[in-house]
Amino acid sequence: MGPSTEAMRYPCVRMDDAELFGAWVKGDQAAGESLYRRYFDPLYRFFRAKAPDDYEDLIQNTMLECVRSRERFRGDAPFRAYLFGVARHRLLHHLRRKGTNRIDFDSSQSSVADVDPRPSSVMARKAEHRLLLEAMRRIPVDLQIAIELHYWEDMTTAELAAVMEIPQGTVKSRLRRGREALQAELARLSKDPSQRDAAIGGMETWVREIRALVGGT
């Protein structure tokens, strides 16, 4: 089978992430646009769940910061790990700036709900989904990021280590603590024992399903 019509019309489609990024930093705008299209949905999911009013600017700023900080991408980890590492820093900067007490914001302790106490704006029909969406906003941001990238983007522990700038062994501990924190929040938020038990019992499945609610393919 030969190349698709799209690939023939747009050669950038056939390039891998690192090749696209290399071309972009050298001034190839078509490569930059291809990379943007390739990662728009994952970045949308990443920011939409945590900064619903500002996700568009955060996506744009993340892509531009990737170019400004291009010397940090050495190719020893996949491009998407570098991209989400930049996205994480942009998000934390945004949350610190938005919070009422910037000095006390600590991504290992502070949650999105600490900065923005409004309920999640993501619509969900299932009670378990609504409960999980709210619980995710109430666990520390770094735990939320680890959980979302693991379950929504299927990131490996090696990729997560690069994103979070921690040893790979620590990633497993962070995922475990994230699941435990989610269970604790579910127990605290739910006034219906059967709903709480359903959410906790199917937590990992529900978290994966929420990906479609937040957006993207």
pLDDT tens per residue across span 124-151: 777 778 888 899 999 999 999 999 999 9
155 vs 214, higher pLDDT: 155
pLDDT of 12 higher than 80: no
User: Which pLDDT band, with edges at 50, 70 and 90, does 10 fall under?
Assistant: very low
Q: Is residue 1 domain-resident?
A: no
Report the C-alpha gap between 38 and 116 in whole angstroms.
Answer: 30
- The predicted-structure confidence for 14-55, as pLDDT tens digits, reads as follows 789 999 999 999 999 999 999 999 999 999 999 998 998 999
User: Is residue 2 scored above 60 in pLDDT?
Assistant: no
For residue 50, tell me if it sits in a domain. yes
Neighbouring residues of 180: CB distance < 8 A, sequence distance ≥ 6: none
pLDDT given at position 117: 84
Query: Tokens 């490996």 belong to which residue?
Result: 156
Whether residue 2 is contained in a domain is answered as no
Full residue range of the structural domain in which residue 27 is found: 7-214
What is the number of domains present in the chain?
1
Confidence band for 4, pLDDT divided at 50, 70 and 90: very low
Band the pLDDT of 216: cuts 50, 70, 90.
Answer: low
At 105 the pLDDT is 85
16 in Cβ contact with 23 (< 8 Å)? no
| Predicted confidence (pLDDT) at residue 104 exceeds the cutoff of 80 | no
Which one-letter DSSP state was computed for residue 139? S
CB count within 10 Å of CB 86 equals 22
Whether residue 103 is predicted with pLDDT greater than 80 in this model: the reply is no
Joined together, the tokens standing for residue 109 give 């302790």
What is the pLDDT confidence band of residue 8, given thresholds at 50, 70 and 90? very low
CA–CA separation, 171 and 161 (whole Å): 6
pLDDT reported for residue 99: 67
Indicate the residue type of 173. Answer: S
Average pLDDT, the chain: 86
Helices (H), the chain: 5-9, 17-25, 29-48, 55-68, 79-98, 112-115, 127-137, 141-152, 157-164, 168-189, 193-201, 203-214
Tell me the C-alpha distance between 150 and 162, whole Å.
13
| Better-predicted residue by pLDDT, 89 or 12 | 89
Q: Is the pLDDT of residue 7 over 70?
A: no
The dihedrals phi and psi of 140, each to the nearest 5 degrees, come to -50, 140
Residue 171 lies in a domain: yes
**When comparing pLDDT for 80 and 118, which is higher?**
80
Residue 112 lies in a domain: yes
Six token digits for residue 16: 């891998």
pLDDT over 70 for what percent of the chain? 88
HSE toward the beta carbon, residue 188, CA cutoff 13 A: 11
pLDDT of residue 22: 93
Is 186 in contact with 195 (CB distance < 8 Å)?
no
Kindly list the distances between the CA atom of residue 153 and the CA atoms of 29, 79, 141, in Å, as whole numbers in the listed order: 26, 14, 17
